[in-house]
Amino acid sequence: MSDLLAARSQMAVSLAFHIIFACIGIAMPVLMVIAERRWQRTREPVYLDLAKRWARGTAILFAVGAVSGTVLAFELGLLWPRFMELAGPVIGMPFSLEGFAFFTEAIFLGIYLYGWEKVSPRAHLLAGVLIAVSGAASGVFVVIANAWMNTPAGFTFANGTFTAIDPIAAMRTPAALPQTLHMTLAAYAATGLGVAGIHAFMLRKNPTSAFHRAALTIGLLVGAPAAILQPISGDIAARYVARRQPVKLAAMEALYETRAGAPITIGPGIRIPYGLSLLAFHDPDAVVQGLDAVPREEWPNVPLVHLSFDVMVALGTYLAVVGLWTGWLALRKRDIATRRRFLWAVALAAPCGFLAVEAGWMVTELGRQPWVIFGILKTADAVTPMPGLIVPFTVITVLYCALAVIVAKLLTRQIARSPQT
Amino acid sequence: MFSLAAALAGVILAALTAYVLLGGADFGAGIWTLLASGPRKAQQRDLIAHAIAPVWEANHVWLILAIVLLFTCFPRAFAAIAIGLHIPLTLMLIGIVLRGSAFVFQSYGGGGGRVFAAASLMTPVLLGTSVGAVASGAIGQWGRGQWVGVGFYAGYVAPWLTAFNLAVGLFTLACFAFLAAVYLTLEAKEAPLQDDFRLRAIAAGAAVVALAVLALVVFPAAPRVHRGIVGLVAAASLGAFWSLGRRRYKLARVAAAAQVTLIVWGWALAQYPYLVPRVLTIADAAAPDITLELALSAVVLGAVVLLPSLYYLMKVFKGRVLKAS
């Protein structure tokens, strides 16, 4: 394994690990706040129990998210010093703002988790709201920095250095809006339906359990609308990619030749005529740039990007269908907790959102290769000169695998201990 | 006289100081978990777990803030540090991950107490070793921007694996343990438990002094800390010992925090105006003014949100401790 590949793999493992915890850190506070608010309004003990149990699970996940986030902040330099040396002054701003947002999140999480008896109910709920807001904000800031890597802006590039730096223009990079929208919705959809799925699974055996009913309802309340909106934000994102990073779009859709009226290829075999032109430009005859427009050495890994994209779209579509089904049942005021087929569908959705997040992240990261700053700096030129990078890659991978197993065990135990009535 | 870049370097120093005083003490508490002993072993561990649980994550963010501001405002210094200290920093990160996750696993019944304690021991040593390597000018070669033609040992191991740097690592460990023990005297409610940590504070304080004196003798070529600062550190140290002896714990906390703060500032002043000694000054490594201006506004804006929130956090969980005298 070359040092470059080891560095990329280490970054990939670190991000793939952290992104799960980050999504949960963004969305879980919203679920906790809804449960607590319902407790304060209805005084039904089941909601308080729910808020407290969710808070316990969130505490574990947030801690792992905080430390794995620290690893990433350092890894930016440990693995990609040339990138940070060049880009730090341009995109340091969103990272700094993220630092403060994350700080706020950590402070109020401490108050939320350990302050049930120490602060007034109103202050406690407000702490929950502040965690939710600062969690979403820190996610948005980090994704803005990533968006800049896709559509770099706010500088003039000459002789290998940046001049006329404008960090505000850099933050307003074209990809910022579609990417932050898509990622934030993904966090709510994956976490909301993830939670709903777990409780739907428990309800199959125990359809009268007030605890699991309450949990399912709140999970769906957050997850279903996000899942329904997600394809729209995906369409916005795809059209930005079509204009700003046509090579990435070509890889996503495995379009090798530039052509008008381009079809969509799903998997290796299925083709929908005019589909891609319609999707990317909302015009069946639009010309879509193929991979042939750039030299071969500037192609990303096409099969992998294409596969990841299809997996993301398939999973996202399934989640949107579950979301619409939820909406349909809610509109007709049906008792969702007794519909076995619906419960199965929701239970099946539990892992799908997180898998879609991973697949989507692979699309955007692998699709940008071989560039770390699109069109400006190649990933190969950004890597640290330190040799033997396979060692830290292996260590981090083993460490994260072990942590994943322990977290899964602890959460399974938490869930198994949840009340059955 | 005070440039924008120097102001931001000062902000980073302030964040690092806060990290040492707060996050460092959390690591120190982990060391006392490892060294818990005597008839009140279990109570000692309980006290520590309760003291750090609500605050350790917030305390930890000071480090993230320092790093983020460093790469935003002084990207060349960050790159040099990240390359030259790849190995100790990676090991430190592993320590940070293990410490944080083991602590939360332990709090939620997942075991991991020994990992928590061991990681609390290892992380400060690596942090101190890295600081020692920066202070002693060992990573200068990476600050010059020529990143090729350096052998593995000469480039990535030799700069930090020196007796001096490891001594700084041990010194850091002693300082963190000292801070933690002093703070824990105020956290403890019963007199015997208070006395346990009083004795530990005196022992750790003695270790800090011993290591400092030893370092002066063994490493005559080490970077010089300003005489005035050394005098102030000695005064704060005496104050800490005196107040621990008289069981005036609130005063002891002020003295201990002042002592460690002065040590951190003494290091900063010793290498001023260099960020990477003898190669990159604050001015050399600074990002363009617009970046610095925006970073400073972010800091001011952030402080407006952060400081009241932090005050509230400390008031909620450390209110009794803050008022105790």
Please write the tens of the pLDDT for every residue from A110-119: 999 989 989 9
Q: Is the dihedral of CA B112, B118, B124, B130 positive or negative?
A: negative
pLDDT above 90: residue A218: yes
Q: Which residue of B has its CA nearest to A68?
A: B97
Which secondary structure element, helix H or strand E, spans residue A373, and what is its range? strand A371-373
pLDDT of residue B325: 45
- Of B159, A28, B68, A253, nearest to A36 (Cα)? A28
A119: chain B residues, CB-CB within 8 Å? 316
A104: chain B residues, CB-CB within 8 Å? 305-306, 309
From the list A90, A103, A111, the residue facing B316 with the nearest CB is A111
- Put simply, the answer to whether A60 touches B105 (Cβ < 8 Å) is yes
Q: How many Cβ atoms from other residues are within 10 Å of residue B228's Cβ?
A: 11
From the list A71, A385, A413, the residue facing B93 with the nearest CB is A71
* Residue A145 · residue A186 · CB < 8 Å: no
- Put simply, the answer to whether B71 touches A386 (Cβ < 8 Å) is no
Q: 153-182 in A: which are within 8 Å (CB) of B?
A: 165-168
Tens of pLDDT, residue by residue, chain B (325 residues): 479 999 999 999 999 999 999 999 999 999 999 898 889 988 999 899 888 888 888 899 999 999 999 999 999 999 999 999 999 999 999 999 999 999 888 888 777 788 888 999 999 999 999 999 999 888 888 877 776 667 888 889 988 999 999 999 999 999 999 999 999 999 998 899 999 999 999 999 999 999 998 888 888 877 778 888 888 988 999 999 999 999 999 999 999 999 999 999 999 998 989 988 888 999 889 999 999 999 999 999 999 988 999 899 888 888 766 665 4
Quote the minimal CA–CA distance from A88 to chain B in Å: 5
pLDDT of residue A335: 85
A84 touches chain B (CB under 8 A): yes
Place of tokens 């931001």: B8
- Put simply, the answer to whether B73 touches A92 (Cβ < 8 Å) is yes
- Put simply, the answer to whether B57 touches A78 (Cβ < 8 Å) is no
pLDDT of residue A356: 97
pLDDT of residue A421: 65
pLDDT of residue A197: 96
pLDDT of residue A290: 92
C-alpha distances out from residue A369 to A10, A177, A300, B261, Å: 16, 21, 5, 45
What are the residues whose beta carbons fall under 8 Å from the beta carbon of A404, sequence distance 6 or more? A17
pLDDT of residue A295: 93
d(CA A415, CA A144): 35
Quote the minimal CA–CA distance from A283 to chain B in Å: 42
pLDDT of residue A270: 83
From the list A81, A108, A395, the residue facing B82 with the nearest CB is A81
Tokens of A158: 């000459």
Among B69, B87, B123, B294, which would you mutate to test the A interface (most chain A Cβ atoms within 10 Å of its Cβ)?
B294
d(CA A41, CA A369): 51
Q: Which residue of A has its CA nearest to B54?
A: A110
- Put simply, the answer to whether B316 touches A409 (Cβ < 8 Å) is no
Task: Return the bridge partners of A157, or none.
Answer: A162
Quote the minimal CA–CA distance from B157 to chain A in Å: 11
* Residue A187 · residue A223 · CB < 8 Å: no
**pLDDT, averaged across chain A:** 92
* Residue B86 · residue A78 · CB < 8 Å: yes
A93 touches chain B (CB under 8 A): yes
- Put simply, the answer to whether A63 touches B83 (Cβ < 8 Å) is no
Q: Number of residue pairs across A and B with CB atoms under 8 Å?
A: 215
Q: Which residue of B has its CA nearest to A117?
A: B316
Q: A413: pLDDT confidence band, cut at 50, 70 and 90?
A: confident
- Put simply, the answer to whether A64 touches B100 (Cβ < 8 Å) is yes
pLDDT of residue B67: 94
d(CA B48, CA B106): 12
Amino acid sitting at position A246: P
pLDDT of residue B319: 74
pLDDT of residue B207: 94
pLDDT of residue B12: 96
A62 touches chain B (CB under 8 A): yes
d(CA B48, CA B205): 19
pLDDT of residue B323: 63
A383: chain B residues, CB-CB within 8 Å? none
Least confident interval from A29-33, A93-97, B102-106: B102-106
pLDDT of residue A338: 83
pLDDT of residue B154: 85
Among left, alpha and beta (phi > 0; psi -120 to 50; other), residue B247 is left
Q: 223-252 in A: which are within 8 Å (CB) of B?
A: none
Amino acid sitting at position A256: Y
Q: A159: pLDDT confidence band, cut at 50, 70 and 90?
A: confident
pLDDT above 90: residue A41: yes
- Of A116, A20, A125, A109, nearest to A59 (Cα)? A109
Task: Return the bridge partners of A287, or none.
Answer: A260
Q: Which residue of B has its CA nearest to A109?
A: B54
pLDDT in tens, A317-358: 999 999 999 999 989 888 888 888 999 999 999 999 999 999
